[in-house]
Chains A and B, each alone.
Chain A
């Protein structure tokens, strides 16, 4: 199966001269549909920077990001309409799950999901019904009209999962999705992500310190000082 996401010698450098910091150093990775990849590593190892570049939110200093066979990023010396095309690529290919949920407090659970459908220009008449269906898929049928302030952390993260799934993107990127949840709820969220990978052929990338995530992932990449130190597949663990 051809990879849906491929990184080729991706590097991100911040600052210049004495302040130059190499956050990610020539990392190459690939990710297939139905695969769940976990990126682990100590704080400052470059996990989030790598995830940002994978999701076309952060422009790499050099290297290539290839999505579904199309190269979407180039080094800083090349002329590239990066900021022009990236929003559409993010909309088309990615769903995001954040550590702090990042839900809109002024929108109900259903509206938080329908916002993304609106952003992706889905059929206006079906928007609310589609959003409600996604909310129900994550067991929140009775909480659809609640605002985030009236929901638990686990419920908020499930709304975030529903939002990530809105518009049916092939890749879901999750940044520390269990960090603000208790152990049981965190496990629940990881199971949902696993289900999305297996049942809906989503490619999932999780950045996490959570040891429970290791047992769920198909592959674990250990990052240190911006470089891949080690990669393990499920069979090797």
Chain B
């Protein structure tokens, strides 16, 4: 019966094209929405995931990585004092304005890290190295910011909040959820931006590496009790909190989710309508098949095989289109997270949507009386 399914499917090319358009549309819309969401969430948690630390200590009630408030840096001593902590570092996250060549300015996210340990340093360096920020007003900017900041070349001088910084390195692919360009510099230089408003030495994060990962929960619980003016998270919990903030509290995740579902519904409706119309047009043939001795299950195989083949072909075309457009989309500043796992999961979602759409056709066939062949 699969033979009949293939013969019939490819004989009616117009109908096949309409079905494929529906599935391609559904695939493209769902893949872009889900991969954009994952890309944005990936950006939002990129630094947390890349810093080699098991514990994050942040200001009280910090909702996510990007919106941390500063707190006194000497609190790091309480962390270092723990026997299970082998290393602790301070990091800074603040905001500034970078003056552009055209006279305008762009708000930027400033990350201050320890260039000696490299904790919080940029990765994927395509020019210079993270340690180059040490000892002066040096900074590293990510290549993805070029669209907003203009041409990035090392050894050029930039003005950040009225201070001159030398660009000593360029990284690739580090973005924040807020889409503001990220500038990396040494912890001490970044801290000077806090000094403008406070005489205290402030940090935005304390990150710690533990000796025994099995004891991480006890360590976190201890720090929570000892540092009541801060929130303490494991790395995974801080990633989760950041993801949930952007997904649930801002409603952004729901927006992407609804658009992806809409894509599946529209695609599924097109497939279902096409398969159903196809079944109605072939009722006479299905009736003939039944009269000639085919069972309902034989005809279901034809319908499901055609739907399955259409789903695979449409999904493949849609996926190839997305892969071809990926670079162009990312150059426009949109991050797409496309992985083999995502392709596989969405393939099954699309396939199930298509199979469900074919269900109405199957129902029609089940009640089809083969006597009809003598009445036509």
Chain A interface residues (CB < 8 Å from chain B): 48, 51-52, 55, 57-58, 87-88, 90-92, 94, 96, 98-100, 102, 104-107, 111, 115-116, 118-120, 175
Contact = CB atoms under 8 A, between A and B. Distances in A.
A57 B374 CA distance: 10
Given A98-B373, A119-B294, 11 more contacts: A52-B374, A57-B373, A57-B374, A90-B291, A90-B293, A91-B293, A94-B293, A104-B4, A104-B8, A107-B11, A115-B4
A175 B1 CA distance: 26
B285 A57 contact: no
B291 A57 contact: yes
Contacts of B8: 104, 106-107
Interface string B277-321: 000000011001111111100100000000000000000000000
B374 A48 contact: yes
Interface of B: 1, 3-4, 7-8, 11-12, 284-285, 288-295, 298, 370-371, 373-376
B292 A96 contact: yes
A57 B371 CA distance: 6
B371 A52 contact: yes
A39 B295 CA distance: 29
A51 B285 contact: no
Nearest to A164: B292
A120 B289 CA distance: 12
B4 A87 contact: no
Contacts of A48: 374-375
A98 B292 contact: no
A48 B372 CA distance: 11
A87 B293 CA distance: 4
Nearest to B298: A119
Q: Closest 6 A-B residue pairs measured CB to CB? A: A91-B293, A106-B11, A90-B293, A102-B288, A106-B8, A48-B374
Nearest to A48: B374
Given A98-B373, A119-B298, A106 B292 contact: no
A131 to B, nearest CB: 12
Contacts of B371: 52, 57-58
22 contacts: A48-B374, A48-B375, A51-B374, A52-B371, A57-B370, A57-B374, A87-B293, A88-B293, A91-B292, A92-B293, A98-B288, A98-B373, A98-B374, A102-B373, A104-B8, A105-B11, A106-B7, A106-B12, A107-B8, A118-B1, A118-B4, A119-B294
A90 B370 CA distance: 11
Contacts of B293: 87-88, 90-92, 94, 119-120
A87 B284 contact: no
Contacts of B373: 57, 96, 98, 102
B275 to A, nearest CB: 15
Given A48-B374, A51-B374, A96 B291 contact: yes
